[in-house]
Amino acid sequence: MQLSFLVKTPVIPLFVALLAPLGCGDDKGGDTETGVATDTTQGTQGTQTMGPTTETAGTETTPGTETTPGTETTPGTDTTPGTDTENVPTTAGPTTEDPTAGGNGQFCQEECAGDADCTLGGVDMGYTCQNSRCVNDSLTCSTDTQCNATFSGWVVDCAAQADCMMGYACVDIGEGVGKCAVVPSDFIMCETLTFEEVMADPIEGGAQIAVCGKTGVKCDNGACIDPCEANTDCPAQTGHPVCNAGTGRCECGTDDDCAASGVPGYTTCNSGVCGCAQDSDCAGTMYSDKCYEGTCGCSTVDVCQNAQAFDGTMKVCEGV
């Protein structure tokens, strides 16, 4: 089942925040999962994801924010690639803010009856109702190349160079799919954007050109993961400041790491993942009152007081 989250991004330059999806830490980015995640297993990191969902280390980037989706950004009005969906949840499902939710127990989610229920602020953002959950298939990944493009902020579709604004190039990210990418110049340097200079194929053919992008991001079970390489890639405020070099994931080392995050429901370090140890640990959230195997969940739908993401859905407290 695909699930959703509200926020998660790192503190990076404003221009980068407008361009790139999730990143964790500084230039490298740590263990981060973008809005294309569909993983429902316990073991995610992040400060503000929704419900049983994905692995995210970071504090805020593009897809998904704590703001109600669709209220701040009107698709089609922005001039910077990547900003149209800045306040949109990336996958459908639980509307909780607990990023560690596992597969057991009950969690606050949103139930749809048809595609019309899945609009955001009255705008169709590509979500459809599948198995009673709002899902956007375009946000899942199948290749590493796709993930690198997403993390690079290459989100505006193009079929020719003329489709991209000045300062961008239409590059082929695979199978003839074109995306607009920033071209480095005397005014815009890749290092300033916390990216690197990479060579890419123009969508219209010809010699490769230099654009600003990111490499090393992996597609893991349909979710984009930016593996960490050192503790500096894992922001302490997420509760997971330790980089597991073997898995490339940011983890907690002690209960104190979790408590220091200030995230409701983060009291105990369970095998590297912050969560709960008892029901009382889940107090103070807007989405839980029970501790299910280290993850805060709900006992009844009345517990689900968190903001609703989609326009026509109904809140439910169900298993995943």
Average pLDDT, rounded, for the chain: 76
Instruction: Write the single-letter amino acid at 248.
Output: G
pLDDT: which is higher, 261 or 36: 261
Tell me the pLDDT band of 320, cut-offs 50, 70 and 90: confident
Instruction: State pTM to two decimals.
Output: 0.59
Read off the DSSP letter of residue 239. Answer: T
Read off the DSSP letter of residue 165. Answer: P
Query: Residue 279 has what pLDDT?
Result: 97
- CA 29-34-39 angle, to 5 degrees, is 115
Tell me the pLDDT band of 217, cut-offs 50, 70 and 90: very high
Q: What tokens were used for 5?
A: 């989250």
Q: What tokens were used for 210?
A: 């230099």
Give CA–CA dist 179/231, Å, rounded: 32
For the cut 60, the answer to whether the pLDDT of residue 78 exceeds it is no
146 sits in which H/E element? helix 144-151
Q: What tokens were used for 158?
A: 């193009």
Condensed to tens digits (0 to 9), the pLDDT of residues 219-239 reads 988 888 889 999 999 999 999
Cβ neighbors of 113 (< 8 A, separation 6 or more) are 129, 132, 312
The average pLDDT across 43-55 equals: 37
Tell me the pLDDT band of 175, cut-offs 50, 70 and 90: confident
Give CA–CA dist 89/41, Å, rounded: 19
For the cut 70, the answer to whether the pLDDT of residue 55 exceeds it is no
Query: Residue 103 has what pLDDT?
Result: 55
For the cut 80, the answer to whether the pLDDT of residue 56 exceeds it is no
Condensed to tens digits (0 to 9), the pLDDT of residues 102-124 reads 458 999 999 999 999 999 999 99
For the cut 50, the answer to whether the pLDDT of residue 75 exceeds it is no
Condensed to tens digits (0 to 9), the pLDDT of residues 291-314 reads 999 999 999 999 999 999 999 999
